Amino acid sequence: MPELPEVETVMRGLLPSMEGVVIAQAQVNRPDLRWPFPDRMADRLTGARVTALRRRSKYILAELDRGETLLVHLGMSGRMTVSGDPLGQFAHDHPQAAKHDHVVFDMENGARITFNDPRRFGAMDLIPTAGLAEHKLLKVLGPEPLGNDFHDDYLMAAFANKNTPVKSALLDQGIIAGLGNIYVCEALFRAAISPKQKAGHLTSRQVAALVPIIRRVLEDAIRAGGSSLKDFRQANGELGYFQHCFDVYGREGEPCRREGCTGTIARITQAGRSSFYCGKCQR
């Protein structure tokens, strides 16, 4: 499932074609994805201007001039790609319609935004903008790891007395919004913290080091266009490249890349998810 860097990459790729632009025609080709689409979604979107486009956690939010916000979740295999961009950022013309093109936005500027999702685990919803913060998917989210509300004092308080492994705590969207398995594994490696370490047992020094490391991992991944392991594509259809920079994720049995460490990367299962780490240098 796309994590924060992938969703941020897609959102940034959509910005030139969507923000400030009217949706000339919205086409909805099926009644649902993970859950049913809102009533009359195509009619409610057609003619609306996208006044702002942003990301919250793993969701793309398109604020509309009609007082509603379109929430988009890419799910496991969802892609939002742009074709026919008049700004010249995308070389390809509009492609032929594909089997899993479930939602299509033809923009007033000539761009076409296509939401393709073979597995149909993605989702869209239309939410009154005034009540956006209280939507069931958004109100439970913790602070953004790239925002000012995420700092070592906050994380130390969030971890206090937690007996769960730090890996599980970092995946808790109520503690930090948008982090997923890949980037938690990579951040814990850079911080030399074992994923098995209890969150409540981390020292203030460890937490103070972990916060900027999490930010750097995410920023590095965004600069690389995210990670393409299976289905993920950027808005221009290109792959992300951060998977070539993984220090631990997916590298079970390979040598540790930390200078001076002679350990190998191990994989364990925590709460049904694979954790990759070096048992020698991550304590």
Residue 233, pLDDT score:
72
User: Phi, psi (5° rounding) for residue 170?
Assistant: -70, -25
User: Residue 277: which pLDDT band, with cuts at 50, 70 and 90?
Assistant: very high
In the chain, the percentage of residues whose pLDDT exceeds 90 is 82
Tens digits of residue pLDDT in 189-225: 999 999 999 999 999 999 999 999 999 999 999 999 8
3-class SS of residue 242: helix
The catalytic residue among 55, 58, 167, 251 is: 58
Contact (Cβ atoms closer than 8 angstroms) between residue 33 and residue 123: yes
Query: How far apart are the C-alpha atoms of 197 and 216, rounded to whole Å?
Result: 21
Residue 167 has pLDDT above 90, yes or no: yes
Count CB neighbours of 113 within 10 A: 24
User: Residue 86: which pLDDT band, with cuts at 50, 70 and 90?
Assistant: low
Residue 269, pLDDT score:
96
Residue 2, pLDDT score:
85
44 catalytically annotated: no
Using only the alpha carbons of the chain, give its radius of gyration. Answer: 20
Of the CA atoms within 13 Å of residue 112, those in its CB half-sphere come to: 16
Q: End-to-end distance of the chain based on CA atoms, in angstroms?
A: 28
Question: In the predicted model, what is the mean pLDDT of the chain?
Answer: 93
273 catalytically annotated: yes
User: Residue 232: which pLDDT band, with cuts at 50, 70 and 90?
Assistant: low
The catalytic residue among 66, 267, 273, 280 is: 273
79 catalytically annotated: no
Tens digits of residue pLDDT in 133-163: 999 999 999 999 999 999 999 999 999 999 9
Residue 240, pLDDT score:
74
Q: Which domains are assigned to the chain? A: 4-134 (3.20.190.10), 152-278 (1.10.8.50)
User: Residue 239: which pLDDT band, with cuts at 50, 70 and 90?
Assistant: low
The catalytic residue among 3, 6, 68, 186 is: 3
pLDDT mean over 111-124: 94
Residue 236, pLDDT score:
72
Question: What's the pTM value of the predicted model, to 2 decimals?
Answer: 0.92
198 catalytically annotated: no
